[in-house]
Amino acid sequence: MWSRRDHRRLTKTDIRRQTNVMHISEGILSGPVLASGMVLAAAGTAIGLKKLDYDRMARAGMLSAAFFVASLIHVPIFPSNVHLILNGIVGLLLGWGAFPAILVALILQAVFFQYGGITTLGVNTLIMALPAVISYGLFGRLIHKRPTIASTAAFACGSLAVLLGALMIGLALMFTEENFWHVSAIVVAAHIPVMIVEGIVTAICVAFLKKVQPTMLPGSARPQTL
């Protein structure tokens, strides 16, 4: 039957249980890496903001909030649990708008939970948003094909977004200090279970959205807004 432990497991948005995998803490990276992260994130955000007119602003803000909340969900994977990142889905839903949406979600995360902060904001935005945009570009059109192709594409979209993010963390560490090689390898390896879970969740979630609200997905017949 339902035990207290199950209840706790299900309602774990509590800060103590937060172990955000996909980000780099403050104080690790070198100046040049921080600076290039910031420049690239600013460029991506500028493109994203240009594509978001004021009519789509409410939608982007709301999806950003949903992304923030959904990323608090812990999904069990034996023997531990991972928490969802969902940058693949955010990429699908917002395209380049993923940059400002993720930037804003990270600012909220910094203020609420103190994950990351001012100096790593650029790098961390880039780590999540660039893979989102890339997987949107690669798989955005495939998800309306036959169900087998569509679900494979959605799986690939979700797991590639995580893989690319993990590789970018690894690269950022390596550019900072060549001796970070082992740490980078551990970080990338730690993301493999996350990749699988994200792929499955993304595939099912995209199938769900296709049934329930197909206009939310890119390349659908009707325009996405209003």
Note the helical H segments in the chain: 4-10, 31-51, 54-70, 87-94, 98-113, 121-139, 147-176, 181-212
Q: How many residues does the chain have?
A: 226
Report yes or no: 92 and 129 within 8 Å, Cβ to Cβ: no
Query: Could you tell me which stretch among 73-81, 125-133, 135-143, 145-153 binds other proteins (CB under 8 A)?
Result: 73-81
DSSP-derived secondary structure letter, 27: T
Name the token pair of 49.
């903001």
130 binds other proteins (CB under 8 A): no
Task: Kindly identify the residues of this chain, within the stretch 93-112, that bind other proteins according to CB under 8 A.
Answer: 93, 100-101, 103-105, 107-108, 110-112
134 binds other proteins (CB under 8 A): no
Which of 22, 37, 43, 89 contacts other proteins by CB under 8 A? 89
Nearest Cα residue to 136 out of 208, 74, 67, 217 = 217
Which of 137, 145, 208, 219 contacts other proteins by CB under 8 A? 208
Task: Kindly identify the residues of this chain, within the stretch 173-192, that bind other proteins according to CB under 8 A.
Answer: 177, 179, 181-183, 186
The pattern of x and - marking residues 138 through 177 that bind other proteins according to CB under 8 A reads: ---------------------------------------x
Query: Could you tell me which stretch among 124-132, 141-149, 164-172, 211-219 binds other proteins (CB under 8 A)?
Result: 211-219
Nearest Cα residue to 185 out of 167, 172, 162, 198 = 167
Report yes or no: 114 and 162 within 8 Å, Cβ to Cβ: no
118 binds other proteins (CB under 8 A): yes
